[in-house]
């Protein structure tokens, strides 16, 4: 896209005036939690060590590789700014992700704090800066609390089952952005395929009223200008609707986004004052419609069969942080090469550059929140606040077709019978829908659904014949809990009934292949040869395709993750099996649901 800048961390709202603050920072553990008392933000201790941001101290990529829990950590670095960079400009400091409580000082002055691990957050640091060297000091406080969203991060001293080394502190890009005093702070893009237009909502930072202020949109496709539109700014939130139809003299209509043909439009937004431009940002969007109808998921009005793979986004030497942008692109290409048209990003909000490349390359994405593991007032409040931040942040990406707040009743352990926990899930459902009425919401992926738009089931049965017999003719029995799928869980929570919604087997497989370490595991019996693996993979995948009411599946998983060795790629993200063999099985039409 015209907006693309390599390594730019916010691809849906792009300016050229930015500084990447990744790299070497001074770093300290603060196990006694004395840094604030000793005013490390005023004078950083000389005995500090170096860390490579954005990699956490637990990773080899950070240069430290200490996997023990240290719940208070400090960072500091110097940023040099020219006087002209500060004249009539504001400076914003952005954190793409820092786990969990982040406190910021600039030149020894306290700026503010943020709670949460997975969403972007920002500070206006203009008034704290001076021409020349400026000290940026960060304290990150984490814990082993299971009331904070932690996803697959362990809360015990050692890894166990499918929980891995914790992530502490800065784990995504830190960057600084120069903006004018009047600027576009946010942009919400809603495609309307039926009416051939997009609905734009601009969030402006401006001194109002100002009768000379306007915001204008310019839409293009390739090198062709499609439409322009301008609106007066009379409040900080401004709405506009712009057609995406070509000018009348051309034969084209609307380009739609799909996995087969991921067509995208470029978007230029300009803020003007008395006709003169004061701010310009570049973006892009896809025209696609996702909806539920008669037991099917429809993409642009056509039934969509989803061939997904579960993706935890872990790397051997950098854990949750991708080694670089190329690693993100490589994963998407390999997932495509193995015959999948989408992925379920599991227990993680991925680097937004990943979503950009999913948009560009046509990869469907289920966006799933990191779980808490206890239900309480505090846990519900933390979860809700950060979930809304994430929806707002990633709303514009056409590749995201489903929101998944909960997985396998994690954080809501009594949801099957507890009305209070059921009400919480319903509240999250309606909160999500109030901001995004387009996308389906899977409330509790795997089982014990309340009012999910798609009913998803998890089953790691390793015998394809058993898997097919369990589901093929037993939809009613499964949905009214006469049969517990996987042998131990009900599809719906008590008090909820099946309303004919689409059904997807959203976890299965997990075949452990190639392992020599004690404690490594997968689902079912471990296989030792490629032939044994392919036979089992083929049988269980084909069995799901033959389930007459099922409209998709999600295989576990992309790559090995620490002690879990059930990936189609190994821990270094190299193929275990030739991708064309997996692709043939995934794309084979034998037995697939006819819609």
Please check whether residue 369 is in contact with residue 349, taking contact to mean a CB–CB distance below 8 angstroms: yes
Number of H-type helices and E-type strands within the chain: 9, 31
Distance set, CA 532 to CA 179, 512, 553, 575 (Å) = 58, 11, 21, 16
3-state secondary structure of 246: coil
Taken in order of first residue, the domains within the chain and their CATH numbers are 18-179 (2.60.120.260), 183-285 (2.60.40.10), 290-587 (3.20.20.80)
- Residue 292, classed as helix, strand or coil, is strand
Q: For 501-541, what is the HEC assignment? A: CCEEEEEEECCCECCCCCCCECCCCCECCHHHHHHHHHHHH
Give the phi and the psi of residue 380 in degrees, each rounded to 5. Answer: -65, -40
Q: What is the pLDDT of residue 88?
A: 86
For 396-549, list the strands marked E by DSSP: 400-404, 406-407, 444-445, 455-458, 503-509
Q: Say if residue 54 is preceded by a cis peptide, omega within 30 of 0.
A: yes
pLDDT of 515 reads 64
pLDDT at position 473, please? 86
Q: What is the model's pLDDT at position 109?
A: 98
Q: What is the pLDDT of residue 280?
A: 98
The per-residue b/e assignment along 291-301, b for 16 or more CB within 10 angstroms, e otherwise, is eeeebbbbbee
Q: What's the pLDDT score for residue 273? A: 96
- C-beta separation of 129 from 87 below 8 A: no
What is the DSSP secondary-structure string of 192-240? ETTTTEEEEEEEEE--S--TTEEEEEEEEETTEEEEEEEEE-SSSEEEE
Q: Is 386 helix (H, G, I), strand (E, B) or coil?
A: helix
How many Å apart are CA 112 and CA 110, to the nearest integer? 6
Cα–Cα distances in angstroms (integers) from residue 547 to residues 325, 440, 505, in the given order:
38, 22, 10
What one-character DSSP code corresponds to residue 586? H
Q: How far apart are the C-alpha atoms of 89 and 84, rounded to whole Å?
A: 9
> Which residues have a Cβ under 8 Å from the Cβ of 134 and sit 6 or more positions away?
78, 79, 80, 81, 106, 107, 128
User: 27 - beta bridge partners?
Assistant: 49, 75
User: 25 and 64 in contact (C-beta within 8 Å)?
Assistant: no
Count of alpha carbons within 13 angstroms of residue 245, beta-carbon side = 10
Rounded to 5°, the CA angle 76-78-84 comes to 145
**pLDDT value for 483:** 66
Tokens 């961390």 appear where? 9
What is the pTM assigned to this prediction? 0.96
Q: What is the pLDDT along the chain (595 residues), one digit of tens a residue?
A: 999 999 999 999 999 999 999 999 999 999 999 999 999 999 999 999 999 999 999 999 999 999 999 999 999 999 999 998 899 899 999 999 999 999 999 999 999 999 999 999 999 999 999 999 999 999 999 999 999 999 999 999 999 999 999 999 999 999 999 999 999 999 999 999 999 999 999 999 999 999 999 999 999 999 999 999 999 999 999 999 999 998 766 666 899 999 999 999 999 999 999 999 999 999 999 999 999 999 999 999 999 999 999 999 999 999 999 999 999 999 999 999 999 999 999 999 999 999 999 999 999 999 999 999 999 999 999 999 999 999 999 999 999 999 999 999 999 999 999 999 999 999 999 999 999 999 999 999 999 999 999 999 999 999 999 999 999 888 888 898 776 656 578 999 999 999 999 999 999 999 998 766 667 888 888 898 999 999 999 999 999 999 999 999 999 999 999 999 999 999 999 999 999 999 999 999 866 665 5
Residue listed under structure tokens 């954080």: 411
């Amino acid at each position: 896209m015209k907006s693309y800048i390599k390594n730019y961390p916010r691809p849906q709202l792009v300016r050229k005036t930015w500084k990447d603050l990744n790299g070497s920072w001074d770093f300290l553990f603060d196990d006694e939690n004395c840094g604030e008392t000793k005013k490390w933000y005023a004078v950083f201790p000389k005995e500090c060590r170096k860390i490579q941001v954005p990699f956490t101290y637990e990773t080899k990529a950070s240069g430290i590789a200490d996997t023990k829990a240290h719940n208070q950590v400090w960072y500091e670095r110097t940023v040099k700014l020219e006087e002209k960079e500060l004249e009539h400009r504001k400076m914003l400091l952005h954190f793409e992700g820092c786990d969990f409580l982040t406190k910021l000082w600039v030149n020894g002055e306290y700026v503010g704090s943020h709670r949460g691990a997975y969403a972007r957050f920002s500070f206006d640091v203009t008034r704290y800066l001076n021409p020349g060297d400026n000290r940026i000091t960060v304290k990150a406080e984490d814990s082993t609390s299971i009331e904070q969203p932690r996803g697959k991060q362990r809360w015990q001293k050692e890894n166990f089952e499918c929980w891995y080394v914790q992530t502490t502190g800065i784990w995504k890009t830190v960057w600084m952005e120069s903006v004018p005093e009047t600027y576009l702070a946010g942009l919400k893009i809603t495609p309307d395929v039926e009416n051939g237009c997009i609905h734009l909502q601009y969030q402006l930072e401006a001194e109002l009223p100002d009768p000379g202020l306007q915001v204008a949109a310019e839409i293009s496709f390739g090198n062709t200008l499609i439409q322009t539109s301008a609106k007066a700014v009379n409040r900080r939130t401004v709405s506009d609707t712009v057609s995406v139809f070509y000018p009348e003299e051309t034969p084209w209509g609307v380009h739609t986004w799909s996995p087969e043909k991921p067509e995208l439009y470029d978007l230029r937004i300009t803020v003007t004052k008395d006709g003169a431009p004061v701010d310009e940002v570049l973006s892009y969007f896809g025209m696609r419609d996702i909806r539920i109808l008669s037991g099917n998921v429809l993409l642009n009005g056509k039934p969509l069969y989803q061939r997904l793979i579960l993706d935890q986004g872990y790397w051997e030497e950098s854990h949750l942080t991708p080694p670089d942008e190329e690693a993100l692109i490589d994963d998407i290409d390999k997932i495509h090469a193995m015959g999948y048209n989408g992925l379920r990003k599991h227990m993680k909000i991925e680097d937004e550059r990943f979503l950009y490349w999913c948009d560009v390359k046509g990869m469907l994405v289920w966006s799933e929140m990191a779980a808490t593991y206890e239900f309480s007032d505090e846990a519900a409040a933390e979860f809700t606040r950060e979930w809304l931040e994430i929806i707002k942040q990633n709303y514009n990406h056409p590749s995201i077709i489903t929101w998944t707040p909960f997985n396998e009743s994690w954080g809501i352990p009594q949801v099957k019978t507890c009305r209070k926990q059921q009400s919480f899930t319903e509240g999250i459902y309606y909160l999500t829908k109030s901001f995004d009425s387009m996308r389906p919401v899977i409330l509790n992926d795997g089982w014990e659904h309340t009012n999910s738009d798609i009913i998803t089931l998890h089953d790691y049965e390793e015998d394809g014949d058993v898997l097919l017999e369990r589901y093929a003719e037993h939809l009613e029995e499964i949905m009214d809990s006469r049969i517990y799928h996987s042998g131990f869980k009900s599809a719906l929570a008590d008090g909820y009934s099946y309303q004919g919604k689409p059904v997807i087997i959203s976890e299965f497989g997990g075949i452990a292949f190639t392992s020599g370490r004690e404690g490594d595991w997968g689902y079912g019996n471990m296989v030792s040869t490629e032939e044994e693996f392919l036979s089992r993979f083929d049988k269980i995948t084909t069995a799901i395709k033959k389930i007459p009411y099922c409209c998709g599946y999600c295989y576990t998983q992309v790559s090995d993750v620490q002690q879990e060795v059930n990936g189609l790629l190994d821990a270094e993200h190299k193929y275990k099996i030739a991708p064309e063999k997996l692709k043939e099985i995934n794309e084979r039409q034998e037995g697939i649901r006819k819609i």
